[in-house]
């Protein structure tokens, strides 16, 4: 039995993205628990996310469009995971939240504009 290196690479990439999603979720969960404990103790909370990629709360208060950047990302890259869409958009100055991106993708799927293949999403018709 021969294993196609490209198929193996695709599986490994998908596994890496899932591991990254789990890690991101765990960091967010731990930040929330630390913040709650700090609030109850009256202490200041410092995030354990040292990447500096998360925008401040004050920045998040400003509403930002989500659908446009999601569609742009899919047009530019083809098939993408939610995490890839968020990273692509952040690199271009958009602050997208995971639940909002997932909601937008679900709405686009209901409209027949996007299809899902596992954890990856793709525009069905990119002629706009």
* Start and end residues for every CATH 1.10.10.10 domain found in the chain: 55-128
The correct CATH number of 55-128 out of 2.60.40.3880, 1.10.10.10, 3.40.50.1370, 2.60.40.3140 is 1.10.10.10
Q: Are 97 and 59 in contact (CB under 8 A)?
A: no
Q: How many Å apart are CA 15 and CA 3, to the nearest integer?
A: 17
| pLDDT tens-digit readout, 54-73 | 555 554 555 678 899 999 99
| pLDDT tens-digit readout, 23-39 | 777 777 777 777 777 77
Q: How many Å apart are CA 67 and CA 64, to the nearest integer?
A: 10
Strand segments (E) across 53-128: 80-81, 114-117, 120-123
Q: Which is more confidently placed, 3 or 54?
A: 3
């Amino acid at each position: 039995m021969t294993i196609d290196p490209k198929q193996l690479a695709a599986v490994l990439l998908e596994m890496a993205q899932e591991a990254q999603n789990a890690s991101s979720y765990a960091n967010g969960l731990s930040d929330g628990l630390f913040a709650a404990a700090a609030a109850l103790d009256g202490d200041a909370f410092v995030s354990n996310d040292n990447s500096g990629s998360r925008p401040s709360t004050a920045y998040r208060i400003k509403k930002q469009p989500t659908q446009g950047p999601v569609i742009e990302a899919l047009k530019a890259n083809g098939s993408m995971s939610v995490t890839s869409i968020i990273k692509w958009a952040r690199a271009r100055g958009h602050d997208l939240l995971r639940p909002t991106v997932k909601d937008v993708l679900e709405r686009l799927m209901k409209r027949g504009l996007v299809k899902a293949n596992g954890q990856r999403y793709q525009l069905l018709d990119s002629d706009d």
